[in-house]
Amino acid sequence: MIRLLIVEDSALMRKLLGQIFGAEPDFEIGFARDGDEALKLISDFRPDVVTLDIHMPRMNGLECLDRIMLEHPCPVVMVSSLTEEGAEETLVALEIGAVDFIAKPSGAISLGIEELAPRLVEKVRIAASVRIRRSRRLAERVRLAQPLPSAPISPSKPRHTASRPMTEGVAGHGLVLVGTSTGGPPALDAVLARLPSGFKWPIVVAQHMPASFTGPLAKRLDKICAMSVTEVARPTRLEPGNIYIARGDADILISSRAGALVAMAAPSDPEFRWHPSVDRMVRSAMKHLPAQSLIGVLMTGMGNDGATSMAELRSAGGYTIAEAEETAIVWGMPGELVRRGGASEVKRLDQIGQHLVDRVC
């Protein structure tokens, strides 16, 4: 049985979540109305996983989460709103140590939550299997994200601009393709913040997230990275020294225009389960660059998105890196790549940045 503590100040949400998990045969459920009550219950109930609302009276979800990570470390799934403020707070929660999040539906909650129910149950089941370590807290991740000694940060970032001269074709140029899902934002912090502003290849990131979250994710990464970070909302030319975050609830495609590589958001393809789709991103890049000019990086995330395409990339002569099980929050996506023999290298999270610098810079 999975012991689940639902922390939610809304009586309606407690009822709806209780009905969803109560209908599953493998859940034992407890309830708390706020953070104070949750902290009192955790030591006795000893939950395998907690769902935690962000906005609550007396003690908000972020304060409660920080206390849980310090006093009773266990997997936490945040329940967030789909607003920009909700996205920013959720990103902070993931920094502090939350495993994953679920976005509250807009409109009629009772109808929207039913549509989300299968994925919510799946997320909580996956979270219950995660081993939480105190070292996942923010202080440790800040240490991991310090710039590499061999990769000094320049005082000003290069900025992408449409008026810059076009490059002469794509020969000799390369591209790094990164795929992440559950646990991805802290992993992106640890890898991307260690890269120098002079990194010679553009980096494109597909992080499974709603559209309202990827913009704040890009802005937040831009503040901590030496490279410039932007969300791809329109056709955008890919240039060295820049990181491009795929827009959520859509897919990202790599193409070529007038000899220059571009990335563009495309409507999500129902053939792929997760969006932005890592598999679709990688396959589109392989149509416009030789495999030897591509590096695929697959990090923490449930499911298998990216494993098939990155295995194809390696078979074609490309280079792929899978995050090691010992550092991945969920070793689903990178683990599947390893099982398929598609990983050129398996690296811990704290090794990936240096490895990219060694190969590209």
Q: Name the 3-class secondary structure at 23.
A: coil
Which DSSP string do the residues of 301-344 spell out, in sequence order? BSS-TTHHHHHHHHHTT-EEEEE-TTT-SSBSHHHHHHHTT--S
Q: Which residues contact 309 (CB under 8 A, 6 or more apart)?
A: 278, 279, 280, 281, 282, 283, 286, 296
Closest CA to 162 of 234, 213, 246: 234
Q: Please, what sign has the CA dihedral across residues 174, 180, 300, 146?
A: positive
Q: Name the 3-class secondary structure at 6.
A: strand
269 tagged catalytic: no
208 tagged catalytic: yes
355 tagged catalytic: no
CA-to-CA distance for 79 and 60, rounded, in angstroms?
Answer: 12
Catalytic residue among 208, 275, 277, 293: 208
Backbone angles phi, psi at 270, to 5 degrees: -65, -10
Catalytic residue among 189, 251, 305, 309: 305
CA-to-CA distance for 34 and 50, rounded, in angstroms?
Answer: 12
Distances (CA, A) of 64 to 4, 69, 70, 140, 235: 16, 9, 10, 19, 41
Catalytic residue among 80, 81, 181, 212: 181
Overall residue count recorded for the chain in this entry? 361
Catalytic residues, by residue number, are: 181, 208, 305
